[in-house]
Amino acid sequence: MIEDREFDLLYLRNLRLWQLMVMCGVVWRTGQLKGTLKVPLETTHLILVQNTLLSIRFRPDERRFDVDGAYDIRHEIIKKRIDKAMIKGRPERLTQPEKIAIVYSHRREALEYREYIDYLQATGYFKEEIENLELQDLQGVHGLKALRVAVDTQASLMEEHI
């Protein structure tokens, strides 16, 4: 968010790839901590792909950023509901331990994330299987799909990157 520079799509692509790498690190690290915790803990990981522009403004009086607009409200509704999303035709939640779920609306978003997943599989972050899933309709939200991929928690390269 810089006023005096041109936006380049490469910045967004790099940010999305970095986000996936960091999430893999979080999965790996929480897996390492599991055995040391007094209370059992399972974590799940979810990304919502947002490919439309958001109106973001800074409110100096409250020292915070606000997201404005009707589409942004739809985004907030989706965000609140997808963490409990079920897979269409199966009694199974989308989010599962040691896996990252990537929810999207448009085919081009899935194709972009497949590139990141392919790269991260080749570098040892993810296991080989990629699940292409359709989500059950949520209240006020229809037609969402997801990619789900398992993090390779045995990969030694994770320790180098965390």
| Alpha-carbon span 147 to 113, nearest angstrom | 8
156: in domain: yes
Contact (CB, 8 A) for 47 and 19: yes
Token look-up 């030694």 returns: 156
146: in domain: yes
* pTM of the predicted protein model: 0.83
121: in domain: yes
- How many structural domains is the chain composed of? 1
Which tens digit of pLDDT belongs to each residue from 75-129? 777 877 888 899 999 999 999 999 999 999 999 999 999 999 999 999 999 999 9
Range of the domain at 78: 9-161
